[in-house]
């Protein structure tokens, strides 16, 4: 009854809110806290620790990557400690408490007070992001960064900052005591960030809780920030940040409205707000994850990594009727790293896009496998690999492409090849549409014809080529070749017979392709 009454009161506040009052509180807070020495020290401390984490903990200079990935990795964890320290004074200090009593005596609505304080803090704290520009200059000097990814990363960082500071504001509204407000904010933010590392995926838990623990990362802002840091601004991530930030602001209004009704909050108010925060984070995360099925996103990467090219979609349309794509994943994901679980979801969505673009020619199915089951043995027999992990557990993550009497398999869809996902899928579709694989001939002094069947140490590329093409290795000292090949590959061949040179010339004059790799320092 009390909750419904409070909700109706808050909805009435929203209808009566005025921008003039919000602006008044915003300017007052900016003047009060923006010129504070403690604010300057806090921002300087955050930037100093962030720099130490990037260059000494993350060893940025050893990564050889011109990206801000390390900055976005450490930033949320630092904000866990610094934002509660900044936000605890919003309502908690002695001066803020007297100011609060004065504000409550004015005809300001709680939502106007909360939004004004939240906006002022967000503007002040945004200086942390602005002052990271030396890092942007550093990556521009060290390499050629993807500027679209840089921009999307900063957009995501602003959203994370807005959400996490709204949690800090909520903690300060819950308790007027600074230390208690700091601890509540620290606990709340730590739990939200901690949910992304998958530490709650414990098989010893009851079955229902175990199933829920596999998806706890959906409630974490770090999970949704990951998409921004790689150049993808999605509807689902944007929905998560805006919705959960609004929830935190409304919960803070709920607390503040309680102060206006009574000088001392009832005990269930703070408990209800903290519990409501985590419940709403989970619900918002689940709803946001369901929005991924619409594939509404803005791809800011230079190479359009998350957008299928028109040629790839055309390949899907040209597929043979009755083509199938089967994605094989482990039924038990409790021990699989969240990074791989996220990649599984991305691959599933990508295949569904191909299915939708094929005009009914491609059908997609998801197969879940249990280790040592009959279905798992059958999947392994068609080329799906069982992948071991450092923990001693194993999992499946592969795909099978079938059309008429032909089938091709990807034993393991490697998360480290995430940037090449479109290429890998398009390659399988192309090979399915070919009546016969292209013929590739290799001429090299380090290979013998028998290496087609027995791999050469250090040349795993031969095995990769054999998966997609009909590969032949020419005898190095042969007097040419009579068969017709689509592509001729020549490498490490300092001495070639004249007859072989003439054969290569005839091959090129016939319009066929050749790849010649030369060592400029070879004598």
3-state DSSP of 387-446: EECCCCCEEEEEEEEEECCEEEEECCCCHHHHHHHHHHHHHHHHHHHCCCCCEEEEECCC
Is the pLDDT at 380 greater than 50? The verdict is: yes
Q: CA-to-CA distance for 92 and 41, rounded, in angstroms?
A: 19
pLDDT score for 173: 86
Summarised one tens digit per residue, pLDDT across range 50-89 is 999 999 998 888 877 788 989 999 999 999 999 999 988 7
Domain boundary among 382, 416, 433: 433
Q: What percentage of residues in the chain have a pLDDT greater than 70? A: 88
Is the pLDDT at 204 greater than 50? The verdict is: no
Cα-based distances in Å from 313 to 4, 67, 420: 50, 30, 16
Confidence of residue 199 (pLDDT cuts 50, 70, 90): very low
Summarised one tens digit per residue, pLDDT across range 213-226 is 567 888 999 989 98
Residue 522 lies in a domain: no
The torsion region of residue 124 among left (phi > 0), alpha (psi -120 to 50) and beta comes to alpha
Same domain, yes or no: 84 and 180:
yes
Q: CA-to-CA distance for 192 and 160, rounded, in angstroms?
A: 11
Is the pLDDT at 26 greater than 60? The verdict is: yes
Cα-based distances in Å from 323 to 283, 425, 437, 495: 37, 14, 18, 47
Summarised one tens digit per residue, pLDDT across range 88-113 is 877 755 445 555 666 666 777 888 88
Summarised one tens digit per residue, pLDDT across range 406-443 is 788 888 999 888 888 888 899 888 888 877 778 899 98
pLDDT score for 266: 46
Cα-based distances in Å from 57 to 83, 97, 118, 138, 153: 22, 40, 32, 17, 21
Is the pLDDT at 203 greater than 50? The verdict is: no
Summarised one tens digit per residue, pLDDT across range 240-299 is 999 999 999 988 888 877 665 655 544 446 677 788 888 999 999 999 988 877 778 888
Confidence of residue 48 (pLDDT cuts 50, 70, 90): very high
Q: Which residues contact 378 (CB under 8 A, 6 or more apart)?
A: none
pLDDT score for 123: 93
Helices (H) and strands (E) in the chain, counts: 20, 11
Distance linking the first and last C-alpha atoms of the chain: 89
pLDDT score for 4: 60
Task: Of 312-316, 324-328, 388-392, 511-515, give the lowest mean pLDDT range.
Answer: 388-392
Q: Which residue has the higher pLDDT, 104 or 520?
A: 520
Q: Which residue has the higher pLDDT, 441 or 176?
A: 441
Same domain, yes or no: 289 and 388:
no
Residue 24 lies in a domain: yes
Residue 102 lies in a domain: yes
The CATH number covering residue 506 comes to 3.40.50
The overall average pLDDT reported for the chain is 84
Task: Of 73-82, 124-133, 333-342, 383-392, give the lowest mean pLDDT range.
Answer: 333-342
Structural domain that includes position 405: 310-433
Residue 498 lies in a domain: yes
Same domain, yes or no: 85 and 213:
yes
Summarised one tens digit per residue, pLDDT across range 361-379 is 999 999 999 988 999 999 9
pLDDT score for 262: 53
Residue 304 lies in a domain: no
Is the pLDDT at 6 greater than 60? The verdict is: no
**How many domains, the chain?**
3
Residue 158 lies in a domain: yes
Residue 258 lies in a domain: yes
pTM of the predicted model as reported, rounded to 2 decimal places:
0.72
| Closest CA relative to residue 180, chosen from 274, 56, 43, 245 | 274
pLDDT score for 225: 93
Is the pLDDT at 308 greater than 70? The verdict is: yes
Q: Residue 363 forms beta bridges with which residues?
A: 324
Same domain, yes or no: 87 and 43:
yes
The torsion region of residue 216 among left (phi > 0), alpha (psi -120 to 50) and beta comes to alpha
Q: What percentage of residues in the chain have a pLDDT greater than 90? A: 32
Is the pLDDT at 328 greater than 90? The verdict is: yes
Same domain, yes or no: 255 and 345:
no
Summarised one tens digit per residue, pLDDT across range 116-163 is 999 999 999 999 999 999 999 999 998 888 899 999 999 999 999 999
Same domain, yes or no: 114 and 192:
yes
The CATH number covering residue 404 comes to 3.40.30.10
Cβ atoms of 75 and 160 within 8 Å: the answer is yes
**How many other CB atoms are there within 10 angstroms of residue 140's CB atom?**
13
∠114-119-120 over CA atoms, to 5°?
100
Confidence of residue 227 (pLDDT cuts 50, 70, 90): confident
Domain boundary among 402, 433, 464: 433
Q: Which of helix, strand or coil describes residue 104?
A: helix
Q: CA-to-CA distance for 413 and 509, rounded, in angstroms?
A: 39
Same domain, yes or no: 20 and 102:
yes
Same domain, yes or no: 149 and 255:
yes
Q: Which residue has the higher pLDDT, 462 or 485?
A: 485
Q: Which DSSP letter does residue 466 get?
A: H
Mean pLDDT of 504-514: 89
Element housing 349 (H / E): helix 338-357
pLDDT score for 253: 84
Same domain, yes or no: 285 and 350:
no
Domain boundary among 274, 299, 324: 299
Same domain, yes or no: 448 and 398:
no
- Note the helical H segments in 175-322: 178-194, 207-213, 221-229, 235-261, 268-290, 310-317
Same domain, yes or no: 76 and 146:
yes
Same domain, yes or no: 467 and 400:
no
Confidence of residue 34 (pLDDT cuts 50, 70, 90): confident
Residue 18 lies in a domain: yes
């Amino acid at each position: 009854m009390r909750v419904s009454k409070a909700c109706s009161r808050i909805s009435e506040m929203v209808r009566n809110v005025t921008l003039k009052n919000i602006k008044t509180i915003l300017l007052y807070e900016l003047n009060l806290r923006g010129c504070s020495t403690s604010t300057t020290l806090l921002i300087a401390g955050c930037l100093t620790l962030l720099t130490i984490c990037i260059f000494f903990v993350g060893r940025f200079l050893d990564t050889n990557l011109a990206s801000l990935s390390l900055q976005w990795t450490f930033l949320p964890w630092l904000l866990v400690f610094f934002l509660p320290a900044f936000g605890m004074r919003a309502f908690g200090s002695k001066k803020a408490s007297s100011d609060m009593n004065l504000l409550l005596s004015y005809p300001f609505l709680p939502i106007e007070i909360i939004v004004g304080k939240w906006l002022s803090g967000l503007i002040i704290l945004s200086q942390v992001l602005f002052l990271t520009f030396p890092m942007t200059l550093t990556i521009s000097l060290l390499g050629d960064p993807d500027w679209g990814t840089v921009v999307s990363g900063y957009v995501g960082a602003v959203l994370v900052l807005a959400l996490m500071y709204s949690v800090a504001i909520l903690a300060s509204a819950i308790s007027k005591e600074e230390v208690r407000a700091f601890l509540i904010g620290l606990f709340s933010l730590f739990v939200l960030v901690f949910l992304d590392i998958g530490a709650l995926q414990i098989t010893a838990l009851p079955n229902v809780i175990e199933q829920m623990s596999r998806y706890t990362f959906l409630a974490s802002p770090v999970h949704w920030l990951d998409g921004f840091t790689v150049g993808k601004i999605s509807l689902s991530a944007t929905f998560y940040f805006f919705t959960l930030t609004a929830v935190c602001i409304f919960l803070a209004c709920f607390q503040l409205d309680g102060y206006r009704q009574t000088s001392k909050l009832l005990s269930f108010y703070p408990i209800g707000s903290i519990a409501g925060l985590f419940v709403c984070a989970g619900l918002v995360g689940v709803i946001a994850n369901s929005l991924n099925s619409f594939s509404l996103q803005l791809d800011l990467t230079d190479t359009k990594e998350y957008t299928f090219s028109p040629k790839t979609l055309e390949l899907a349309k040209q597929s043979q009727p009755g083509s199938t794509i089967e994605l094989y994943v482990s039924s038990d994901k409790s021990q699989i790293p969240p990074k791989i679980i996220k990649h599984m979801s991305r691959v599933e969505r990508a295949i569904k896009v191909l299915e939708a673009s094929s005009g009914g020619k491609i059908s997609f199915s998801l197969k879940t496998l249990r280790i040592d089951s009959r279905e798992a043995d059958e999947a392994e027999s068609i080329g799906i690999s069982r992948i071991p992990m450092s923990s001693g557990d194993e999992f499946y993550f592969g795909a099978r492409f079938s059309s008429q009497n032909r089938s091709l398999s990807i034993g393991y869809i490697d998360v480290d090849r995430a940037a090449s996902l479109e290429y890998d899928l398009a390659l399988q579709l192309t090979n399915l549409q070919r009546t016969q694989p292209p013929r590739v001939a290799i001429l090299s002094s380090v290979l013998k014809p028998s290496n087609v069947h027995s791999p050469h140490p250090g040349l795993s590329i031969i095995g990769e080529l054999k998966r997609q093409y009909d590969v032949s290795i020419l005898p190095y000292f042969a007097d040419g070749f009579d068969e017709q090949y689509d592509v001729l590959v020549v490498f490490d061949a300092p001495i070639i017979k004249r007859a072989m040179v003439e054969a290569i010339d005839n091959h090129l004059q016939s319009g066929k392709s050749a790849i010649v790799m030369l060592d400029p320092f070879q004598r």
